[in-house]
Structure 1
Amino acid sequence: MSNICQLLDFGADVLLFNKDTYIVSRFKELISENFNQKFRTQLREHHSDFSVSGIFNRLCINEVNFKVEDITWQSSSEGINCKVFRVGSTNWQGGKLRIKVSTGIVSPLMYKQDAKLNIIVVLEFYSDNPNEPESPLDDIRKMIQAEAT
């Protein structure tokens, strides 16, 4: 995997995983919804009102309580094989995708309420050919910029 990271923050770009395609904005929504759903999962072992987010909000070691406000998750460092089609490009670009999800926990007012989550999804793309221009016009733009200076 290359060391050059491209953030996929333009929502209209397209991701291809084997046979499944997603618009970047929709893919981020699906990840966010999945995390939200998992954090809302009710755990009924000890108390009927505990959820995953509620447990993470109240971290306790021995008799010392710690308030957890932010949790960050990231996919494996090897990345996920995929292809990206950027708006304005002429072909798919192969590479690896890393997903980072940050959850900011907003504490509930009452002990039994679920904490509210602020979920931020960041998609990092590592191209198989990092020296390849993103668009065929990139070389022309660089020449124009060089002539202008």
Structure 2
Amino acid sequence: MNDKIESNKNYETVGDDDVLLFGQATFLVRKFKELSGSKLSEILGISANGQYIRDWMRELKINQETIISGGEINWKSHQEGIDCQIIKIGSKGWQKGKLQIEVKKNITSGETQTSIKFCPDEPIEPKSPLDDIRQSEEYKKLSNNN
């Protein structure tokens, strides 16, 4: 594994209008979240022996007297992340990194919630608080006078 990735585990939630690139396939984050959620719903709706998987997950029947109702089903991508590139609104270009996906499905309501997080391979250099000052006209005038 790349040493830079190991030292940079700062995953941040991505915006719905950002664009993801996996190999040659591109997705608007909003659409990718929708597809991920609907795919999980499809998988949970597959019938096995006449009973849907989501129905099996609604409760955990320990014995006749002990039945525990289910709440959510959580699916998470691998912790090391998925190789991809992202272009964020307002950025200057594609950025390589790792993506993590988490899909939560509420068994009772059927509601699906998808979270997408990205960690760049190269850490983004933090903006210096002095950068704004250096760009001001007053600073430029002062530096030209010296």
State the TM-score, normalizing by the size of structure 1: 0.77
Question: Which is richer in strand?
Answer: 1
Aligned to 2:103: 101
| Change in 2 beyond 3 A, CA 1:117/1:145 | farther
Does 2:74 correspond to 1:86?
A: no
CA deviation map 1:83-129 (0-9, x unaligned): 000111111110000111111111xxxxxxxxx41111001111101
Structure 1: 5+ residue stretches without partners = 107-115, 134-138
Aligned to 2:38: 33
- Counterpart of 1:82 in 2: which secondary structure? strand
Aligned to 2:54: 53
RMSD: 2.2
Amino acid aligned to 1:14: V
Q: Distance in 2 between matches of 1:145 and 1:72?
A: 46
- Counterpart of 1:117 in 2: which secondary structure? coil
| Change in 2 beyond 3 A, CA 1:132/1:140 | closer
| Change in 2 beyond 3 A, CA 1:146/1:33 | farther
Aligned to 2:10: 4
Question: Which is richer in helix?
Answer: 2
Aligned to 2:119: 126
Structure 2: 5+ residue stretches without partners = 136-146
State the TM-score, normalizing by the size of structure 2: 0.79
Q: Distance in 1 between matches of 2:23 and 2:12?
A: 21
Aligned length: 128
Query: Matched residues, percent identical?
Result: 28
Q: Distance in 2 between matches of 1:73 and 1:23?
A: 21
